[in-house]
Chain A
Amino acid sequence: MTTHYLVLSALLFVIGGVGVLVRRNAIVVFMCVELMLNACNLAFVTFARQNGNLDGQIIAFFVMIVAAAEVVIGLAIIVTIFRTRRSASVDDVNLLKY
């Protein structure tokens, strides 16, 4: 019965991925990434259950911590650029191209 969870995690991952592609606001984009990470977590836990060992669940904790660290860095960067540009749209930052 673990397949459902897997499907769900896959869905979440894809939703997250598509979100990154379609949303403009840097914060939202970043949240989509977080969503993808959580999809991974779900998959880990599911597989842990399936494989009958705890590794997956432990990994999930690791991932949360890493995610948290990412948030710190990410927000810092996004805030700085928001302050300079007065906009959090990722489409506004394209001086670097070609």
Chain B
Amino acid sequence: MNGTIQAPTIEYGLLAPMLVVFGAAIIGVLVEAFAPRYLRSSIHKPLTLLSLAGAFVLTIWQARSGIPTKPAAMGAVAVDGPALFIWGTILVLAFVSVLLINDEGHFVASASAVPGSAEEERALSEGATHTEVYPLALFAVGGMLLFPAANDLLAMFVALEVMSLPLYLLCGLARRRRLLSQEAAVKYFLLGAFSSAFFLYGTALLYGYAGSVDLAKIGASLGAVGGQDTLLYIGAAMLGVGLLFKIGAAPFQAWKPDVYQGSPTPITALMASGTLVAAFGALLRVFWVALGGLEWSWTPIMWGVAILTMVTGAILAITQTDIKRMLAYSSIAHGGFLLIGVVAIGNQQQNASALSALLFYLVAYGFTTVGAFAIVTTVRDAGGEAWHLSRWAGLGKRRPLVATVFAFFLLAFAGIPLTSGFFGKYAVFQAAVDAGATPLVVVGVVSSAVAAFFYVRVIVLMFFSDPAADGPSVVIPGGTWAVGALATLATVVLGVFPQPVLDLAHTAAQSLFVR
């Protein structure tokens, strides 16, 4: 190389969706800086939704114009089939979550004001709101997009932080039960930072082992480098800690219930759908691309983690009394089911089917969970959402439609046929059995039988027990209504005619991850 510096080549076209989102986020910040307070939200709402929609359109357009076969941006980002599919999913879910965010009454008037202080009173009376929510959400979504697409560990680390930091803040912005909200923020932040430190150290060690943070290079070096297994094993394990933390796999699940319970429900929805999808994308990329050659050594470990996760999620959920907390545990359990798919690894074609199964499951679960949280926001007491399960008693009589829809989501979680959840589970189990992981599947079905209990319990409450005199009221703002409808539609369609989405997932997974 003769002294001349080559400018890095960036395929802006490929990265367009991400760039759009980030761009919109930055504009949002500028709006916060310069636009007058009364204008802000009316600028933010369209801006956010449009940017997400636009990004989605671009994603589709890209998928149609041929899936690239080699990484972009000097190998930093891999915009491949799975990535595009995940992008699409995340963007839609984010769009839907933003619809939830749009509806009033979720976010604190003034985060800095001490709860119950005169200051807060004033903020409330002024009707002040934190419009920063929108740019923050956009940054988080941007991070979510980059996370599963990142093709080297550094990019992945950055993405991880870009995704998480805004979420830390958003968690603390609940309008009601602010103490809980702040607590959630603190916990999420400390633990998140803690785990990302592990991720980073793992990166460092793998860098030491392979001499590069590029996933493909690491994967290539697995066989080549000798005598450094210590670095490899510790590094891989710590990397795993960081990723498993994000998807809330046992024993790193502890944060999830607290954070989901404390956060503003729309944000919970965003985390439960978007973050999970993104994290799984990243997990798969790391373990299949970088550590694929090590599969013989991590599959057993993943078995353990998967079993532990499913069981913990299912068992702990049974005795929950807070609806959001219960859904959090249920999401842990679902994380476990998804992990079954991660270990259903084998030959090329087997991997493809496993991957497509996972992608389908993620879509199905994402929609259902957003829908469920959307319903949660609508059932309200004097003190905000009616969080305690007992308050839901007899909802089926007072508001049949809402109750029915929620029951439907619960049945989808439980994996009853003719709901999306069923085909999701089915696909993953099928892949696992093909890969010879039948025992894992048995554990899976047993724990989903256990899990069924607490879904059913809620249905019993809503339909079979009589409503309390001062039962909660049900308020359905427009956005939420749309979200509920959309989620229901998705759950039905994926449950009855899953084929189109399956095909989509299949084509996306066909070529696996680019290296």
Q: Which residues of A contact B (CB under 8 A)?
A: 6, 9, 13, 16-17, 20, 26, 29-30, 33, 36-37, 39-40, 43-44, 46-47, 50-51, 53, 55-56, 59, 62-63, 66, 69-70, 73-74, 76-78, 80-81, 83-85, 90, 93-97
Contact = CB atoms under 8 A, between A and B. Distances in A.
A15 B183 CA distance: 25
Interface of B: 111-112, 114-115, 154, 157-158, 161, 165, 168-169, 172, 178-180, 182-187, 189-190, 193-194, 197, 200-201, 203-205, 207-208, 211-213, 257-258, 261-262
A36 B197 contact: yes
A97 B200 contact: no
* Minimum-distance CB pairs A-B, first 9: A36-B197, A47-B208, A43-B204, A96-B258, A51-B211, A40-B200, A93-B183, A33-B193, A81-B182
Contacts of A50: 208
Contact of B183 (A20, A55, A63, A95): A95
B427 to A, nearest CB: 34
A44 B187 contact: no
A26 B190 contact: yes
Contact of A66 (B111, B161, B205, B213): B161
A41 B148 CA distance: 24
A72 to B, nearest CB: 8
A26 B189 CA distance: 11
Nearest to B113: A83
Contacts of A26: 186, 190
Nearest to B259: A96
A29 B190 contact: yes
B158 A62 contact: yes
A59 B197 contact: no
Nearest to B185: A77
Contacts of B197: 13, 16-17, 33, 36-37, 40
Contacts of A17: 194, 197
A63 B200 contact: yes
B208 A73 contact: no
29 contacts: A9-B204, A16-B197, A20-B190, A20-B194, A26-B186, A33-B193, A36-B194, A37-B200, A46-B208, A51-B207, A51-B211, A55-B212, A59-B154, A63-B157, A69-B165, A73-B169, A74-B168, A74-B193, A77-B169, A77-B189, A80-B111, A81-B172, A81-B183, A85-B179, A95-B180, A95-B183, A96-B180, A96-B187, A96-B262
